[in-house]
Structure 1
Amino acid sequence: MEVMDLLSVRSFWWSDSFMHAFSPSRVGSGGILAVWNPHFISQKQMIIGDWFVVVEAVWTRLGLDVMFFVIYAPQGAVCKRNLWANILEMVVSFLGECILMGDFNEVRDELERLGSRFNSMNARYFNDFIEYADLVDVPLGGPKFTWSDRWGSKFSKLNRFLITEGLLHNFPHMTGLVLEKNLLDHRPIILIEQPVDYGPTPFRNFHSWFELDDFDGIVRGSWLQLVVGLVDMNPWCNIPL
């Protein structure tokens, strides 16, 4: 979209409390919208570029200075290298933490592309940018690829989250997830903090035990002698070994 009015932005958000920044599309491509809750993200300044929207803010819950980058990288190799250079300069000069998100229009290795040509030189420039900026590529759970063509013959991992290491100290359980794409060519991605505690380990097993005589019999006998206070009504959970 070349123009983004306030009513359109409100239709994307869950409440009337929001702020936003917008970079318009150019020649039928691009276009970036960033929306945030001012009660949690206190904006200090915004930088609007051709291929990015940058919001420098304070994460109020932590009192943490964070620079958010929302990126829609161009297709051309030279334009992408110029973009990496501009973003690199902002990241290394910022004293707080950084979160980069969006469509980077580039892959890091040939395993992130299927059905189309892999350009090793472009990937090297992208990897060098990530290394020089000292960024962490957040692992994404779910489907391996985030983009596919309309015929389902080409796949790429173009969308990702890149963060500075300091954020991992505040959010040690930070992870990414690839969602369903429905009619879109890109799958949405979400960055979440999801601590998981499975409790104490209920059983420990050593491979050497399998070499003991009648090991199977010991396990079966122990299982049959086990008495529990709760019965799982799921028949699949009550099948004897």
Structure 2
Amino acid sequence: MDVLLISIYAPQSVDCTRKLWDEISTLISSFSGECVVIGDFNEVRYESERFGSQFHHIPARIFNQFIEQNDLVDIPMGGPRYTWSNKWGSKFPKLYRFLVFEGIMLYFPNIMGLVMDKNIPDHRLIVLLEHRVDYGPSPFCIFHSWFEKDDFDDVVHNSWTSNVVGNLNDNPWVNFKKKLQFLKFNLRLWNSSARDRLISKRKTPQDKVEEIDASLMLDGGSVDLREQRVLAIKELFDLDHLSRVELAQKAKIQ
């Protein structure tokens, strides 16, 4: 089927968003296929979608009229309730969402949105899911981020110098392949262990941020609590540096 995919990063001004909704409505009406509108709408639909900041009825009403007039469906979102927060954790709105035609839901009856765990200070990623796709076994490769880890050199050196060659009289190419397979095996084990250690290290500051967010949403919290949140987010940011480098290389490869 033909699908019109519209990615949104809406302005804050009411007049500007009104013009944007009109332009998108015109675009949708001129398209004969299905439509998916995604992104940062910079607006909430209901008062319950905003915490810590004032709810404005007029822009919300205009936004809801845009959705209804274009027969768009607001996909239910699992995961955390809000998709954005300021640095101090005093404002929590739901600004990101997926709006689709009903035809999309007929083709993909199990479609749903998911709000992910926070991986950058103020935003939560959202993902549109239908089913899990199996791309087969992952190829072996070396990531640049591995060279920044202290024990990577030791793993390579110990694996390559280890006596894994069965018969020294074998063809040198056969012996080389045996060493290479042994190195690949050890690097996979090492990378899996390093990933588990990173997850373990992230758990403490991540739990701290979630705990502070829950407290802030209840009573606003104290200045000391907000400072603790900033420090915990910085710790998460530092821990995720190598992961971001690795993800960037994966994206380039794909």
TM-score normalised by the chain length of structure 2: 0.51
> Per-residue CA shift, 1:173-208, capped at 9, x if unaligned?
00000001223311000001039xxxxxxxxxxxxx
- The whole-number CA distance in structure 2 between the counterparts of 1:182 and 1:90 is 33
Per-residue CA distance 1:131-151 (angstroms, 9 max, x = gap): 001000000000000010000
Question: Offset at 1:157?
Answer: 0.3
Structure 1 CA distance for aligned equivalents of residues 67 and 30 of structure 2:
15
Using the alignment, how far apart are the partners of 1:183 and 1:135 within structure 2?
30
Equivalent position of 2:100 in the other structure? 163
Q: Tell me which amino acid in the other structure corresponds to 1:139.
A: P
Contact 1:175-1:194 at 8 Å conserved across structures? no
> Equivalents in 1 of 2:115, 2:66: separation in Å?
23
Runs of 4+ in 1 over 6 A off after TM superposition: none
Distance 1:170 1:66 in 2: 12
Number of aligned residue pairs: 132
Q: Distance in 2 between matches of 1:139 and 1:155?
A: 18
State the alpha-carbon separation in 2 of the partners of residues 177 and 183 from structure 1. Answer: 17
Letter of the 1:159 partner, please give it. Y
Shift of 1:93: 2.0
Q: What is the rounded CA distance, in whole Å, between the counterparts of 2:83 and 2:121 in structure 1?
A: 10
Q: 1:85 aligns with which of 22, 37, 49?
A: 22
Gaps of 5+ in 2: 133-254
Match of 1:176 among 94, 113, 119: 113
> Matched residues in 2 for 1:194 and 1:110: separation?
32
| CA–CA distance in structure 1, aligned partners of residues 119 and 106 of structure 2 | 35
1:151 aligns with 2:112: no
Counterpart code for 2:115? V
1:20 is matched with none
Over residues 125-173 of structure 1, what are the superposed CA-to-partner deviations in whole Å (9 max), with x where a residue is unaligned? 0000000010000000000000100001100000000000101111000
Whether 1:97 aligns to 2:26 is: no
- Separation in 1, partners of 2:129, 2:88: 31
Distance 1:73 1:137 in 2: 17
- Matched residue, 2:50: 113
Secondary structure at the aligned position of 1:148 is classed as coil
- The aligned amino acid for 1:162 is L
SS of 2:44's equivalent in the other structure is coil
**Identity across the alignment (%):** 55
Q: Give the Cα–Cα distance (whole angstroms) in 2 for the partners of residues 90 and 109 of structure 1.
A: 26
Match of 1:137 among 37, 60, 74: 74
The structure carrying a bigger strand percent of its residues is 1
Structure 1 CA distance for aligned equivalents of residues 121 and 3 of structure 2: 30
Partner of 1:168, secondary structure, is helix
| Residue identity matched to 1:80 | T
RMSD, aligned CA = 1.0
Q: CA deviation at 1:94?
A: 1.0
**Gaps in structure 1 of 5+ consecutive residues:** 1-63, 196-241
Q: Give a deviation string over 1:33-65, Cα, whole Å, max 9, x none.
A: xxxxxxxxxxxxxxxxxxxxxxxxxxxxxxx10
Alignment of 1:1-241 (within 5 A): 64-194=1-131
The answer to which structure, 1 or 2, has the higher relative contact order (CA under 8 A, 6+ apart) is: 2
Task: Name the structure with the higher helix share.
Answer: 2
